[in-house]
Chain A
Amino acid sequence: MSEALAVVGTAGTDTSVPAVSGARQFWRRLRAQRAALVAAAVVALLVLVALAAPLLTALEGQDPTTYHPTLIDSARGGVPLGSLGGVSADHWLGVEPQTGRDMFARLVYGARVSLGVSLAATLIQVLLGVAMGVAAGLGNRWVDLVISRVTDIFVSMPLMIMALALLAIVPSGFPRPVLVALIISLVAGWSTVAKMVRAQTLALKNLDYVSASRLSGWSTWRTATRELLPGLAAPVITYAALLVPSDISAEAALSFLGVGVQPPTPSWGQMLTSADVWYQAAPQYLLLPALALFVTVFAMTVLGDGVRVALDPRAASRLRVGTGRKREARARAAVPGDAPRKEERP
């Protein structure tokens, strides 16, 4: 961890290296990993699809809530008529059993909920976690004690049970996606961020440049924002990148349990819930949201790992493919002391 800090930490302090070089270095290392690039492209595409959902469905000429009773076989439990779950020029991915709602429209609108909720949850987790962690690390003994014990309590909270309890007592008028995002971020995640940030803060606190800042009379706030935060960026960004996929899964799990977003708003988790019994009669109904969820979580995980490696080049990637480690190693051998040069890349 400390090596990683040193990399970005140097960028934050006024040493001989120009301030931009940290970001540039990071970008170069990220680009060197093919898998991370592909993952980034996939994530970008998913975000784009989610943002453009109304546009895409308009292009298809459908919407996610309209029933199409003529496209299903009512006498056979409402199974979609036609092959592959009713795939046609009008319905690119077929229709939903029992309702005939358009699968493509539901899938792309579902992306909005799944991605929106998880990104919002991650943002809250990171902000809250950093604030609490830094406060605990820089505060006096009592502040540290209280914050640390509260953090411990939240670390040990079981997400699903707490979520079920909270969702039961919150008035139903409260917008569900916001509520789900809040629950995921408040119950889970932030506490682990806080613990990690506190530990980092304690380590950084005693480094010379931080001590210098404090001794020269800067306020705690200024010390935290100017000296500590840049040093914390690497581990926090790394952790956040890995939190996103876990938050997507949490949203899906909550919706799967029927306590996530409310119908008719589609979400992938909710689609999976109603589809689980259809795996034999209409497999695509289950496979489409499952595939979407898998691709998203996988891409996010690979990207997260790529970010981690780029911020911390000396730590080995957990992934064994497409990380560009071999190439980087070759490049290092050729040009000692730095990352590969641009012209050496294929």
Chain B
Amino acid sequence: MRQPSVIARRVAAASVSLVVAAGAAACGPEDSDAKGAGGDSTPHKGGTLTVLNAQPQSDFDPARLYTSGGGNVPSLVFRTLTTRNRENGAAGAKVVPDLATDTGRPNKDATVWTYTLKKGLKYEDGTPITSADIKYGIERSFAPELSGGAPYLRDWLVGAAGYQGPYKDKKGLSAIETPDARTIVFHLVKPEGEFPYLATQTQFAPVPKGKDTGTKYESHPVSSGPYKVVKNENDGEHLVLERNTHWSAATDEERKAYPDTIDVRSGLDSSVINQRLSASQGADAAAVTTDTNLGPAELAKVSGDKELAARVGTGHFGYTNYLAFNPKVKPFDKPEVRQAIAYAIDRSSVVNAAGGSALAEPATTFLPNQKSFGYTAYDPFPAGASGNPAKARELLAKAGHKNGLTLTLTHSNSKDFETSPEIATAVQDALKKAGITVKLQGLEDNDYRDKIHSVKTEPGLFLAHWGADWPSGGPFLAPIFDGRQIVKDGANFNTGQLDDKSVNDEIDAINKLTDLDAAARRWGALDKKIGDKALVVPLFHPVYKRLYGKDVKNIVISDWTGVLDISQVAVK
């Protein structure tokens, strides 16, 4: 089950977005470090970085975390076989080696992946990290009591479907071999060219068997990264990280680790976080957030203030908000009706409802507008900026609805500017011009999610969103459009209930590719092909805007997470 909301929220929770250019501007005139006109923007070691978050870092166990690319705070403590490239923009959407010497060596059909560990890797207690520890870390993520991670390992590894973890099943997973202390080999049930992306997740972090305390491990997981946990209060609400002296920058090209201490404080209200960051007083001057965006009203206030505007970072995370159809429900079985809605949509008013042009970009493709996803520009039903109601009426007449029609749009009542009433009302207003009367059905958020993800209760027309586990077309398209992933009982994400052999076959074919650039191009082409079917109407891709404190330097925002990477930040 890939819970889009969970993915989105966890990933969002692991994210902060800041612009690079703002790095230099971060040193205001009040900054005592400022030297001359330009200020000293060179990052230095030392100091305490405060992280102000809404969501606590609960279940801080590498087996239980659901992250994209290893997460933000977790990535300071857990190193993985591979990791995301800590660079700005599109370069940051690449997968790079972390504990391993390369991103993995596949066999011919990408069903066997081999990794070799770097030399001189150590835990926080100075003991060496071995390939058996990585195998053990993966195995314990199968234990029912340590659930929470992404489902890929169970789907992909040979013989993993019924595996219950190392506590119950001492033999371990035969799909993972460790011929020596530095080599680890994975055997997969089918070709998976994107295995290196999966190896960025925290389940691939080493766990020393002798130190494993089961469910209690999360209070003090053994660090392989630049920081170790010295305090964890209220299940991750207050986390204090200090330097791991056995970590060596020589083996880690990705993490900069400038601050001496990281103080993560969570459970805060989002308006409080933004208020504290804009005031930037005391310890908050060296503060960032990894999970709280500026809302429309906050952006309006911040953009009117030059000093604040200079402390806003912008990032893009691969994410799409869309209108979804259930073609099993009338009148959405008729392609003309779906196309008419696609033509009628007013993306400028939808974008405004989502927070305006600074917080959302109009979308005509299902894939996010980033190269790593294989983004191929297309617009099968060009509606322009504000809709083409005339064309929509024409199509409706063709479908036998000459006098317009009345539809129900299901949405959530949460205040998230994604699937919330504001967006639904903007859609309603746009369709009115095409003679379509839209009735709104606002549901409580959990109810809404249950309804849209069950084939039995799925409404005909609803607001939806999707974010990927890693920046590639695979986890973006397959769960939504692969016919074999239609789940009859349980959570179904193929809401268009598309089961097209040519689409399924193409997904299999692309999964075989280990050349990720070539794969990306084919995902893009497949997206275009599916787009013509009008099973969804892409609405917008969100843009993340986040504030950071006055003293924060060296801001790096990758397209992988769309947020400031705290492994790069300096406060001195």
Contact = CB atoms under 8 A, between A and B. Distances in A.
Interface string B330-371: 000000000000000010110111011111000000000000
Nearest to B443: A172
A98 B355 contact: yes
A172 B386 CA distance: 30
B442 A281 contact: no
Nearest to A100: B352
Interface in B221-273: 271
B182 to A, nearest CB: 52
Contact of B271 (A75, A277, A281): A277
A269 to B, nearest CB: 14
Interface in B298-337: 298-301, 303-304
Q: Residue among A67, A78, A100 with the most chain B CB within 10 A?
A: A78
B297 A282 contact: yes
Contacts, number: 106
Contacts of B425: 99, 263-264
Contacts of A281: 297-298, 300-301, 304
A74 B356 contact: yes
A80 to B, nearest CB: 9
A74 B348 CA distance: 9
A153 to B, nearest CB: 26
B421 interface: yes
A308 B321 CA distance: 56
A69 B303 contact: no
A74 B298 CA distance: 13
Interface in A244-269: 258-259, 262-264
Given A98-B422, A263-B421, A263-B424, A76 B356 contact: yes
B359 A77 contact: yes
Contact of A69 (B296, B349, B447): B349
B300 A76 contact: yes
B271 A77 contact: no
Q: Residue among A65, A77, A79 with the most chain B CB within 10 A?
A: A77
Nearest to B414: A258
Contact of B386 (A69, A74, A79): A69
Given A69-B349, A72-B352, A77-B358, A274 B300 contact: no
A75 B358 contact: yes
The dominant DSSP class at the A interface is: loop
Given A69-B386, A277-B298, A74 B351 contact: yes
Interface in A133-162: none
Contacts of B507: none
Interface string A55-85: 0000000000111010011111111000000
Contact of B441 (A76, A99, A172): A172
Interface string A168-205: 10001000000000000000000000000000000000
B300 A264 contact: no
Given A98-B422, A172-B441, A77 B296 contact: yes
B396 interface: no
B413 interface: yes
Nearest to A79: B300
B352 A78 contact: yes
Interface in B410-426: 413, 415, 421-422, 424-426
B297 A74 contact: no
B428 interface: yes
A52 B271 CA distance: 39
Count class of interface residues, chain B: 35 or more
B353 A74 contact: no
A74 B543 CA distance: 13
A97 interface: yes
A274 B417 CA distance: 11
Interface in B393-448: 413, 415, 421-422, 424-426, 428-429, 440-444, 447
A97 B415 CA distance: 16
Contacts of A98: 296, 352-353, 355-356, 422
A56 B332 CA distance: 39
Interface residues of A, number: 30
A280 B304 CA distance: 11
Contacts of A279: 297
A290 to B, nearest CB: 16
Interface string B280-291: 000000000000
A221 interface: no
A99 B353 contact: yes
B544 to A, nearest CB: 14
B389 interface: no
B524 to A, nearest CB: 28
A24 B325 CA distance: 65
Contact of A278 (B297, B351, B424, B443): B297
Contacts of A78: 296, 300, 352, 355-356
B357 A97 contact: no
A75 B349 contact: no
Contacts of A76: 299-300, 303-304, 356, 358
A173 to B, nearest CB: 8
B300 A77 contact: yes
Given A77-B303, A172-B441, A264-B428, A69 B297 contact: no
B295 interface: yes
Nearest to B349: A67
Contacts of B442: 172, 258, 262-263
A265 to B, nearest CB: 10
B386 A75 contact: no
A69 B352 contact: yes
B298 A77 contact: yes
B426 A77 contact: no
Contacts of B352: 67, 69, 72, 74, 78, 98-100
B54 to A, nearest CB: 15
A84 to B, nearest CB: 15
Contacts of A97: 296-297, 300
Q: Residue among B297, B386, B425 with the most chain A CB within 10 A?
A: B297
Contacts of B422: 98-99, 263, 274
A279 B299 CA distance: 13
Nearest to B440: A262
Interface string B486-526: 00000000000000000000000000000000000000000
Contacts of A258: 413, 415, 421, 442
Contacts of A264: 425, 428-429, 440
A69 B295 contact: no
Contacts of B415: 258
B271 to A, nearest CB: 7
Q: Residue among A66, A74, A75 with the most chain B CB within 10 A?
A: A74
B297 A280 contact: yes
Nearest to A264: B425
Interface in B437-491: 440-444, 447
A77 B441 contact: no
Contacts of A77: 295-300, 303, 355-356, 358-359
A279 B359 CA distance: 20
B495 to A, nearest CB: 20
A98 B297 CA distance: 9
A223 to B, nearest CB: 49
A262 to B, nearest CB: 6
A98 B303 CA distance: 15
A65 B427 CA distance: 12
Contacts of A74: 348, 351-352, 356-358
Given A77-B355, A79-B297, A79-B300, 10 more contacts: A67-B429, A74-B348, A77-B295, A78-B355, A98-B296, A98-B353, A98-B356, A168-B444, A263-B442, A281-B304
27 contacts: A72-B356, A73-B356, A75-B356, A77-B303, A77-B358, A78-B356, A79-B297, A98-B296, A98-B422, A99-B422, A99-B425, A168-B444, A168-B447, A172-B443, A258-B442, A262-B421, A263-B422, A263-B425, A264-B428, A264-B429, A274-B422, A277-B296, A278-B300, A279-B297, A280-B297, A282-B297, A282-B300
Give the 3 A-B residue pairs with the shortest CB-CB distance, closest first. A77-B296, A281-B300, A77-B299
